[in-house]
Chains A and B, each alone.
Chain A
Amino acid sequence: MIFSNACRVIGLAAVALSMAMSATAAQAQLNVFATVPEWGALAEELGGDKVKVYVATNALQDPHRVQARPSLLARARSAQLMLATGADLEIGWLPLLQRDAGNPNILPGKPGMFEASQYVQLLGIPLSVDRSMGDVHAGGNPHIQTDPRNFLPIARALTDRLIVLDSANGSFYQDRLRSFLFKWQASIDRWTTIAQPLRGEKIWVQHDGFVYLNDWLGLVQVGTLEPSPGLDPSVAHLSAVLQRQSQLQGRMVITAAYAGDTASKWFSEKANVPLVVLPFTVGGNKEATTLETFFQNTIAHLLQAR
């Protein structure tokens, strides 16, 4: 009696509130929930003032280890478009948002769920997956944002999706896409030319997060400091890596801003090679504030270390 009454009140309140919500949503901006900063930045580039973007994480947070905290559930509840990397990057928290936020628009396979990794060729797909190998992603390496060329097909697909969800502004999105593609292609050409001296450069990485960057710039990754993805290297392991350096002759050691530089700093000092802390995504350092400056800054750091 108490309960059914309470349920009824809750139900009525819910219906009333949701009607109010949908009424305002008609004129409002498209609510976009981006799991990581790079897709948030891309959504803003492509959506302009027609989208309202919420970014769930910042560049100093490990995207693998984010918690499905209450504020994320609250944002996911009203999201009209969920922008994620996919390829299991957000597997520790995104499924909980999809399950518990009470928002069927962002379920897998719905137009409101967009996974960027579905539109690019993934690299580093393991043949076998075993937990002894650490935090390996069965679908391939998910850190696709380190190659600017990946943004071209993703931008096209994202525009398609924006138009599906907000067809009234279709031509607006198409115009934005056209100017983005034009600008972005020019930037890629410029960066590729500037970064030409990096081709064939041997590098060490702390976490295996730069396969796409390597593929783009022709960097040769001689090894990772982590014994397996997601596991912190011990001093003993680092010493073993250091011994291999005498043969492999890596010219620099690269880490991401979020990952902390304890291991790579140690290695950098012992091996006497420069340590390069890359922003890894938008917001990873003071200069990398936009997609454009993120890549500019990445290349500047690499060239400086050379």
Chain B
Amino acid sequence: MFYPHYAARACAALSFVASVAFAAPVGAQVSAAPVTASDLAKIQDSIQAMRVLYEERINSLEQKINALEQRNAQLARQQATPPTAARASGTAEPAASTRVTGATGATGATGATGATGTQSALGRTPVPVATQSPPPSSLVRGITLPKIGPLTPEISVIIDGKYSAQSQNPETLGRGFVQSGGENIPRGFSLGETELALAGTVDNLFRAEARLVLAQYGQDFNVSMEEAFFETLGLPVGLKAKAGKFRSTVGYLNNKHPHEWDFVDLPLVYKAFFGGQLNNTGAQFSWVAPLDELYLRLGGELGQGMTYPNGNNYNENKPRLGTVFAKLGGDIGTESSWLGGLSYVTSSTGNRPRSSVLNDTDTFDFNGSTSVLIADFIYKWSPNGNASRQSFKLQGEAFWNTQRGSASISSPNTYVSCEAPCFGNAYINTQSGFYVQAIYQFMPNWRVGYRFDQLYGGNSSYGFSAETITGTALEAFNPTRNSFMIDWANSEYSMFRLQLAQDTMYGPGKTNNQIFLQYVMSLGAHGAHRF
């Protein structure tokens, strides 16, 4: 049940409150030829000279205004008592005009010589203390440097390239879990995803981000819309709304972009239960509690549900994906901080069954509901809270996945004890898994890390006979993976990583020994990273 009238009224009130805000210009960088120190000094001098010039001009304009006001007052008096005031106004006029030209003449002189004196003068010039609220324009006073392209959004391109050697074919079907395109990294050189992002404030109330991804699919590159959303800036009392296509805030790693990951690939729980990261078209609403010591954020999302674990819910009135999440975090002394979360995802396939790969030739359709419960935590430590030399990070997430409904195999092949199309009995899938990882930065720019992944097949029954699912994606299995990495970052904008891993996702006797070399290069504006 929705409450449109309630929402509309709330929105009107909120936008009224927020309408006082005005957007600040987005900084852009000035580019020019290389310079020497003397050039620099010259430029600084000329900027100072410009300031003096502008200040003088403002002064002269103020004087002009004063003169005009006086004249107006005199004219008003003149109208009241015409004969005597006429002479007074006649003398006032030339006096005012000489004052103005005098000020303009002084401007030239100060502009030429006054540059050196500005620094000390600025420090000591008494500024009158305001006795009442001044208008907003006087709030930002002092030096505002001219910026080129203040209306240009932040633009960034992130190149994420890899070389990999693996003992198994990464295109092999995983065992025990309903895989759904978990983005396995191909062998040899590959480019993964090259990301082009545009971000910035839309106006005083909204901020928007668009993220295009040039992804390598087999031999081809496709452009896809990874994210495109807006979010509110001006809602009061900790509220925030967001709409568009975006990575869900559930879990910890779900809304982190690949260049922020500590390993080359996602944890197995994300691959098995979300087929990557949960990313949907919809809307989000969240609230930050007014607690001083603790960070508490509650929120929920409504998504159309067009990818796994949904079916293709495109062109349906009813959105079929919902999430709620709670995050709690804080500090322990000055050296440590932590963040924990609980999230719940629910979805249903509605009238559009989800088709998943069963084996090399066949697929099966699932009709029903999926729910995922996620618990996550992260703990960070650094000496004195200064993470630039040394730091440590411990992070983990656990997923509980439940699917209920029915499934059918459509295949030209005849399955043992099941004629095509093969309808199964009740489908109950209760699987779970977790990962835990530790990252240690032992000196500036260098980090090492270890990650352990575990999935549990649980007591799942898909409604098919054991013979039917033997050797398919549904055959019960508990995979594990051990990953070790070391990375070196020359700056915030470039990073190289070596990762070694042993993955048993492909089933018994098919251990995949992996080696990855990765580079991440960030061009342009690089937005601040979340905790």
A contact set with B: CB distance below 8 Å: 1-8, 10-11, 13-15, 17-18, 21, 54, 57-58, 60-62, 65, 67-71, 73-75, 77-78, 88, 91-93, 95-96, 98-104, 107-111, 118-123, 125-131, 134-135, 138-140, 149-150, 152-153, 156-157, 159-161, 163-164, 167, 170, 174, 177, 215, 230-232, 258, 260
Contact across chains for B21 and A109 when beta carbons are under 8 A apart: yes
Known contacts A21-B237, A77-B290; can you find 12 more A-B pairs with CB under 8 A?
A18-B290, A61-B386, A70-B339, A100-B288, A102-B240, A121-B119, A125-B40, A125-B43, A157-B127, A157-B142, A161-B139, A232-B444
Stretch at the interface among B170-178, B273-281, B324-332, B431-439: B324-332
The 5 closest A-B pairs by CB, nearest first: A70-B329, A108-B24, A18-B237, A102-B238, A70-B295
Other-chain contact of B143, A11, A15, A121, A160 (Cβ < 8 Å): A121
Chain A residues whose CB sits within 8 angstroms of the CB of B331 once the complex forms: 69-71
Contact across chains for B386 and A107 when beta carbons are under 8 A apart: no
Chain B residue nearest to A59 (CB atoms) is B384
Q: What is the distance, in angstroms, from B329's C-beta to the closest C-beta of chain A?
A: 3
Chain B residues whose CB sits within 8 angstroms of the CB of A68 once the complex forms: 528, 530-531
Bound: A232/B445 CA distance, A = 9
Chain B residues whose CB sits within 8 angstroms of the CB of A127 once the complex forms: 30, 32, 35, 39-40, 43
Q: Is the CB of B47 closer than 8 A to any CB of chain A?
A: yes
Q: What is the distance, in angstroms, from A207's C-beta to the closest C-beta of chain B?
A: 11
Contact across chains for B129 and A70 when beta carbons are under 8 A apart: no
Contact across chains for A160 and B387 when beta carbons are under 8 A apart: no
Q: Is the CB of B220 closer than 8 A to any CB of chain A?
A: no
Q: What is the distance, in angstroms, from B130's C-beta to the closest C-beta of chain A?
A: 5
Taking CB atoms and an 8 Å cut-off, the chain B residues in 393-435 that contact chain A are none
Q: What is the distance, in angstroms, from B232's C-beta to the closest C-beta of chain A?
A: 9
Chain A residue nearest to B144 (CB atoms) is A118
Bound: A143/B243 CA distance, A = 39
Q: What is the distance, in angstroms, from A295's C-beta to the closest C-beta of chain B?
A: 15
Other-chain contact of B34, A61, A120, A128, A138 (Cβ < 8 Å): A128
Q: Is the CB of B314 closer than 8 A to any CB of chain A?
A: no
Chain B residue nearest to A152 (CB atoms) is B123
Contact across chains for A60 and B386 when beta carbons are under 8 A apart: yes
Q: Is the CB of B261 closer than 8 A to any CB of chain A?
A: no
Q: Is the CB of B509 closer than 8 A to any CB of chain A?
A: no
Chain B residue nearest to A103 (CB atoms) is B238
With A18-B236, A127-B39 as contacts: A111 and B139 at CB distance below 8 Å: yes
With A70-B531, A71-B293 as contacts: A125 and B47 at CB distance below 8 Å: yes
With A68-B528, A102-B235, A157-B127 as contacts: A73 and B27 at CB distance below 8 Å: no
Contact across chains for A14 and B29 when beta carbons are under 8 A apart: no
Contact across chains for A107 and B234 when beta carbons are under 8 A apart: yes
Bound: A78/B290 CA distance, A = 6
Q: What is the distance, in angstroms, from B465's C-beta to the closest C-beta of chain A?
A: 36
Q: What is the distance, in angstroms, from B260's C-beta to the closest C-beta of chain A?
A: 12
Chain A residues whose CB sits within 8 angstroms of the CB of B338 once the complex forms: 70
Q: Is the CB of B96 closer than 8 A to any CB of chain A?
A: no
Chain B residue nearest to A118 (CB atoms) is B142
Looking at A54, A69, A91, A128, the one whose CB has the most chain B CB atoms below 10 A away is A69
Q: What is the distance, in angstroms, from B293's C-beta to the closest C-beta of chain A?
A: 7
Other-chain contact of B234, A104, A140, A156 (Cβ < 8 Å): A104
Chain B residues whose CB sits within 8 angstroms of the CB of A100 once the complex forms: 240, 288, 530
Chain A residues whose CB sits within 8 angstroms of the CB of B528 once the complex forms: 68, 91-93, 95-96
Bound: A61/B386 CA distance, A = 5
Contact across chains for A78 and B292 when beta carbons are under 8 A apart: yes
Bound: A165/B292 CA distance, A = 20
Would you give the 0/1 interface string for B312-343, flagging 1 where the beta carbon is closer than 8 Å to chain A?
00000000001010011111001001110000
Looking at B32, B131, B322, B386, the one whose CB has the most chain A CB atoms below 10 A away is B386
Other-chain contact of A1, B1, B296, B327 (Cβ < 8 Å): B1
Contact across chains for B143 and A122 when beta carbons are under 8 A apart: yes
Bound: A170/B31 CA distance, A = 44
Chain A residues whose CB sits within 8 angstroms of the CB of B324 once the complex forms: 3, 6
**Complex A-B: 26 CB contacts under 8 Å:** A1-B1, A2-B322, A3-B302, A8-B6, A11-B10, A17-B289, A21-B290, A58-B334, A65-B386, A70-B337, A71-B331, A74-B288, A74-B293, A78-B292, A88-B27, A102-B286, A119-B141, A122-B145, A134-B491, A149-B123, A150-B123, A153-B125, A160-B127, A167-B132, A174-B129, A232-B444
Chain A residue nearest to B33 (CB atoms) is A128
Bound: A61/B255 CA distance, A = 27
Chain B residue nearest to A163 (CB atoms) is B130
Chain A residues whose CB sits within 8 angstroms of the CB of B77 once the complex forms: none
Would you give the 0/1 interface string for B487-531, flagging 1 where the beta carbon is closer than 8 Å to chain A?
000010100000000000000000000000000000000011111
Contact across chains for A18 and B238 when beta carbons are under 8 A apart: yes
Bound: A164/B137 CA distance, A = 13
Other-chain contact of A170, B125, B131, B339 (Cβ < 8 Å): B131
Q: Is the CB of B44 closer than 8 A to any CB of chain A?
A: yes
Q: What is the distance, in angstroms, from A44's C-beta to the closest C-beta of chain B?
A: 17
Contact across chains for A61 and B384 when beta carbons are under 8 A apart: yes
Chain A residues whose CB sits within 8 angstroms of the CB of B527 once the complex forms: 95
Chain B residue nearest to A76 (CB atoms) is B288
Q: Is the CB of B364 closer than 8 A to any CB of chain A?
A: no
Contact across chains for A4 and B2 when beta carbons are under 8 A apart: yes
Would you give the 0/1 interface string for B27-56, flagging 1 where the beta carbon is closer than 8 Å to chain A?
101111111000110011001100000000
Contact across chains for B236 and A104 when beta carbons are under 8 A apart: yes
Bound: A230/B122 CA distance, A = 30
Q: Is the CB of B300 closer than 8 A to any CB of chain A?
A: yes
Chain A residues whose CB sits within 8 angstroms of the CB of B380 once the complex forms: 67, 69
Chain B residues whose CB sits within 8 angstroms of the CB of A96 once the complex forms: 528, 530
Bound: A119/B140 CA distance, A = 9
Q: What is the distance, in angstroms, from A279's C-beta to the closest C-beta of chain B?
A: 14
